[in-house]
Amino acid sequence: MAEPVFLRACRGEVVDHVPVWFMRQAGRSLPEYRALRSSGSILEAITDPTVASEVTLQPVRRYGVDAAILFSDIVVPYYAIGFGVDVVPGRGPVVAEPFAHRGDLERLRDLTERDVDYVAQTIELAVGELRATNTPLIGFAGAPFTVASYLVEGGPTREFAVIKSLMHTNPALFDQLMERLTAITVDFLRLQVAHGASALQLFDSWAGALSRDEYQRFALPATRRVFDGVADLNVPTVLFGVGTGELLDLMAGSSCDVVGIDWRVDLDEGRRRVGDRATQGNLDPARCVATEAVALEATREVLRRAGTSAGHIFNLGHGVLPQSDPAVLAAVVKVVHDEGRAGVR
Amino acid sequence: MAEPVFLRACRGEVVDHVPVWFMRQAGRSLPEYRALRSSGSILEAITDPTVASEVTLQPVRRYGVDAAILFSDIVVPYYAIGFGVDVVPGRGPVVAEPFAHRGDLERLRDLTERDVDYVAQTIELAVGELRATNTPLIGFAGAPFTVASYLVEGGPTREFAVIKSLMHTNPALFDQLMERLTAITVDFLRLQVAHGASALQLFDSWAGALSRDEYQRFALPATRRVFDGVADLNVPTVLFGVGTGELLDLMAGSSCDVVGIDWRVDLDEGRRRVGDRATQGNLDPARCVATEAVALEATREVLRRAGTSAGHIFNLGHGVLPQSDPAVLAAVVKVVHDEGRAGVR
């Protein structure tokens, strides 16, 4: 079978249509998801391979997107090794005892396949079904800095004052933390590929809270080591963050294949900043909660600024908002497929 | 008496030291503030001229900063005209009945001096004392877009989905809303200058949530009209927002004198983007919650990137965090005053 368009676009090849998928395409915006998950916590759904694989497949069936992404959460490996993480509805990941001292490094033991056997099973179940439509599955993990921000802050933050204080006052301990997170992340990503994932995305969602100097010193080295740790697997890799306009050139230097771009940076300018890497983005998710006309006008503007289908994957600039209308997202997919045509970059 | 250094720097003049003040320099980080405001809501403190003027003066006495800023909140004029706004501790401004329909325009009547007599009195009390040290007082208001985001969303948001839906699906109503907010903002700023404010800052804190196209179409025109509406008063004006790296050149085109820059953009690059305007910023507030050494290293880096005292006002990249140590902020002021010397831009 021909290699899927999504994978070829990640490698910068000229393809006959622009591939599209949506961050958080699986989940709360879909009625079939809400029907399936009428009760129980999100971690219960993630750790049940039957539920999680079904949720992974729902948006592929509904939208005909060019890639599935594993239904999971960036804190899953840390939940799995017993660090004490929960995902609280309406708030996000919460850590009962945040990382604070050297002694906490011991709580970050290596991840084994047994810890996350449900992830392996979810991927195998999903990939089994995706074969029929030759749709690739994207595995993912949180990048070490973004994961560290949750483990150190104890939950979501707007200020990043605790993690920044740690990096600046105790860089040795911060580096040890990042080393542990890097090892766990590499093992977790390799496991996903071993069971059928054919691309990998690293979510460094909060990297945009850092200055360029901080990003280069404290976040980028670990990100680079993660990509180095999966390089021999020869699957395309995507690096994504929000508010990273100042960092795009540095992110492109991480040896990822694709750089995700949020809606704040015009895509033509974003493509200039990432140089010879492919790009993914960058429709504002807020445009998909108004009317179809509003979403499609913005979709066409993104396609226009992308310039060509070579080395671009259409996506949102951040995750699908729960209040999005699935019919609007379906219309976006249709326009990308119909109007995002081939061209030379 | 000589014109204060802060005002001269706003005008881009070469001055003999870099002036410094801090956004949210008055408030929760100061023990003398917490002592004064042991009970009662923040709006009670703001609407009591004795308390509010004292709070305005506290950081000037403690730090010897080059400017005071009125102790108030950007929602005060809307609270004053009875729009139904409250400021909830730990959450921020909350609106009981958000702006949604054309009929809501009537709830945004013109502001009269009587509505905010406490602001006039606070300024007069504070300016009376500030005269002794020749310290200017900065008046301020929220820029129409940022205020609109609160009035339309009903409170703080990370997504801006409701306000963006309004602008794209009903631009005529959005424009009418901005027109009302512009009129109220101009009247509120003029009143502050009439009673003694000698500079004005417009907080478009959330402008960074917009794309360049959205900013140009939906936020910048109202901001420009506000500055036009106070131009005859001949006081320096500052325009500030967070995460506005992509917008700095557009903000500089608003006819403000000074553009505020957050810590995400390196200051030398930020100064390049704003061209011939003065700049204000851009120490990461998170650096002031660790140790003095961490804060001072970052302070010196900002001074180095500023290059010269001409046309630069030292500040944080966002407001002082409540957990900041006042001794660290005092040390920052000293370093800026001692080491931020004159030079030619």
**What's the pLDDT tens digit per position in B130-179?**
999 999 999 999 999 999 999 999 999 999 999 999 999 999 999 999 99
Interface test with A, best of B162, B211, B320 (most A CBs within 10 A): B211
Give the per-residue pLDDT at B309: 64
Residue A289 touches partner B, C-beta closer than 8 Å: yes
Q: What six digits make up the tokens of B200?
A: 């004005």
Whether B208 and A266 lie within 8 Å, measured CB to CB: no
Q: Which of A165, A209, A265 sits opposite B246 (nearest CB)?
A: A265
- Answer whether residue B345 shows pLDDT above 80: no
**Close Cβ partners of A36 (under 8 Å, ≥ 6 residues apart):** A45, A51, A54, A55
Chain centroid, CA B103 distance in Å? 30
Identify whether the C-beta of residue A312 lies closer than 8 Å to the C-beta of residue A18.
Answer: yes
CA torsion sign for B226, B80, B73, B162 is negative
- Catalytic annotation on B78? no
Q: What is the mean pLDDT of chain B?
A: 96
- Residues of chain B contacting residue A244, judged by C-beta atoms under 8 Å apart: none
The 10s digit of each residue's pLDDT in A331-342 is: 999 999 999 875
Contacts (Cβ under 8 Å, ≥6 apart) of A132: none
CA B59 – CA B296 distance, rounded (Å): 19
Q: Is B109 a catalytic residue?
A: no
In this prediction, residue B342 carries a pLDDT of 56
Whether residue B109 has pLDDT greater than 70: yes
Give the whole-angstrom CA distance, residue B42 versus residue A193.
54
Strands, E assignment, chain A: 68-69, 85-88, 92-95, 137-142, 199-203, 237-240, 258-261, 278-283, 312-316
CATH T-level assignment (fold) for domain A5-339: TIM Barrel (3.20.20)
Taking CB atoms and an 8 Å limit, are A161 and B211 in contact across chains? no
Output the average pLDDT for chain A: 96
pLDDT of residue A345: 39
A264 noted as active-site residue: no
CA A269 – CA B211 distance, rounded (Å): 12
Q: How many helices (H) and strands (E) does chain B have?
A: 15, 9
Residue A309: predicted pLDDT: 64
Give residues 20 to 79 of A whose Cβ lies within 8 Å of B: none
Read off the pLDDT of each residue in A269-278 and give the average, rounded to a whole number.
96
Distance of CA A218 to the CA centre of its chain: 20
